[in-house]
Amino acid sequence: MRIGRRRFLVGTAGGLCASISGGGSALAVTSMPRMKLSKFVTDPARVAALKKGVATMKSRKPSSPKSWFYQAAIHAVSNAFLQQALQQDAGVQAVVNDGRFWTKCPHFGAPSADFLLWHRAYLYYFERLLREASGDPTLSVPYWDYGDPADRAFPDLFADPDIDPADPQKRPRNPLFDSRRDQALMYGVVELSDDVVSAAPALSQKLFFGDTEDSGLAGAVLDSNPRTRGVLEQIPHDVIHFAVGGAVGVNDPAATQVGGLMSSPPTAAFDPIFWVHHANIDRIWRTWDCTSGNSWGNPPDATWFAKKDWYFNDVDGSIQSHDRLYYLTDGNLPVKYDTDTGGCIPLSKNPPTPKPAPLVVAANGGGATPMAASAAPPASGSVVLDMKAGTMSLPPDRPTNQLLAIPPMKVFAAPSAPAALSAAPSGTRRRVILEIAGVDYKAPPSVGYNVFVNLPERASPDRASPNFVGTLALFGLKHEPMAGMKDEMSTDTAQQFDVTRFVRSTPDLKQLQVTIMPFSLYRPRKGEVPKPAEAGVVLGGMRLLVVEEATLPNR
């Protein structure tokens, strides 16, 4: 049922818990395809099995690989959550000391091409543990198809705390409920906007591996920045995370709280809604995989494909670790969706052929550290063309424009910028990168931001425009320190966008105009969308730079 927004909201502990046992018999029955959530909820037996599975996992001690805590911590875990777990279970320290399992999601400086593969494997092994815990060998994780206009509202199944009126402590009985979500969204005041849910930019990609780390469905491996993302990771993945995490607002009328569990990698997987979101992201990949005319694009080298550095716990107590090519090959993780078609011959039936390992290590430029324009290429392999320093606010209701100059590239001894790009030494390439630094906010805004370059006057500022270069990454900007690792996403808030095509195509181009256009995360269902706080997002500056980097063979 849909409950009123003003109902007293009760926090949950996030389920600190786990155990390891056999359970091979649970695999003997073929599971059902992953179902659309709106269809799944019409089957009371499946709903009961899902709730039982989550509740059982939450009841287990944190150090057990079959617990909710353990599985959520594989994605990432904050120091605060870890300290709570250590107080409950001394065995947690051994898992931390092992170092193979927790805080492994590829949001922290790993190549953007890792994102889809890692999350597919993560969801697959979690689902097997959930199925066993539920006692229903046919259970599969449903997917939240927010791309369907009828399913833009936050799912009731996850929104109703189901509080026993006789319980003086008002504890939720629904294991799928958590109060740490955007309140207006969870209680039906607003629903997700078109700009948040659209998979069109991802499904329009023809390549799986892009030529640059922010292109292609999955991105690439030559990442020069921990916030660079492939297209599906940008939209809808990241914006859904941020919109659902949103403004928690419990006893916080000014909306000054940082945000809910879903808005930050170290806490996201502790929210049960995480799993139905990622089931949908994986389904979008499956849809792309079955689309005729798509190709692998620019595959990484053989070294990347052969890596076996991801570890997952299976229902029989075994530890599963496979190379990346295994996860890219159809059938190795036998998952089906109710949207699968009989005529599909997925691209992944014929996995990519890895390229030979490069002889030269890439020299990537970038980073958030300010850099002055140089007279010669610095050791890092980058040259700054122009820089606009100082704080600038991004209004939530109108675009922000900034001009960046493209001076003569004397350092490369070339008559023009396109000539300098074309004259890269053998085995290297030169790219022009737009870097937006110091992205920050005090309170979670109700908008996201699209970035365009040289957008013509009166042109439609949508993502189908050839001038669209990406979205600002707000997911993960604010979070507590994470356990056991350098917190790259907190220390480096710069975000990079490849804008080479604009410079290469115009020989006499003297400047680039950057337009940052806000879009609403929500649309009203009841009443109006809460007015976003003015200057909810600020930037520390922008710069335009040329990076020279080693390339993979044939790139």
Ordered DSSP codes for 517-554 = EEEESEEESSS-PPPPPTT-EEEEEEEEEEEEEE--TT
What pTM was estimated for this model as a whole?
A: 0.87
Question: Rounded mean pLDDT of 121-128?
Answer: 98
457 or 362, which is more confident: 457
Judge whether residue 214 has pLDDT over 90: no
In this structure, what token pair is assigned to residue 91?
């065995």
Band the pLDDT of 211: cuts 50, 70, 90: confident
The per-residue pLDDT for 8 is 28
236 preceded by a cis bond (ω within 30 of 0): yes
Domain boundaries, the chain: 37-349, 383-550
The most confident of 475-479, 517-521, 536-540, by mean pLDDT: 517-521
The per-residue pLDDT for 246 is 84
Give, in order, the Cα–Cα distances in Å from 231 to each of 30, 200, 228, 329, 450.
33, 10, 10, 21, 13
Question: Rounded mean pLDDT of 451-469?
Answer: 93
The CA distance from 544 to 33, in Å, is 47
- Percent of the residues in the chain that have a pLDDT greater than 90, as a whole number: 58
Pairing of strands 428-437, 537-550: antiparallel
The whole-chain average pLDDT of the chain stands at 84
Q: Which residues contact 529 (CB under 8 A, 6 or more apart)?
A: 184, 190, 446, 520, 522, 523
SS3 96: helix
In this structure, what token pair is assigned to residue 521?
């995360």
Per-residue pLDDT reduced to its tens digit, 358-393: 433 333 333 333 333 333 333 347 788 889 988 889
**How crowded is residue 87: how many other Cβ atoms within 10 Å of its Cβ?**
11
Band the pLDDT of 535: cuts 50, 70, 90: low
CATH superfamily of 37-349: Di-copper center containing domain from catechol oxidase (1.10.1280.10)
Per-residue pLDDT reduced to its tens digit, 418-429: 888 888 888 888
Band the pLDDT of 15: cuts 50, 70, 90: very low
Range scoring the smallest mean pLDDT among 40-54, 240-254, 336-350: 240-254
Instruction: Estimate to the nearest angstrom the gap between the alpha carbon of 158 and the chain centroid.
Output: 21
Question: Rounded mean pLDDT of 472-484?
Answer: 70
Q: Which of 201, 185, 187 lies closest to 471, judged by CA?
A: 201
Q: Which residues contact 343 (CB under 8 A, 6 or more apart)?
A: none
Judge whether residue 478 has pLDDT over 80: no
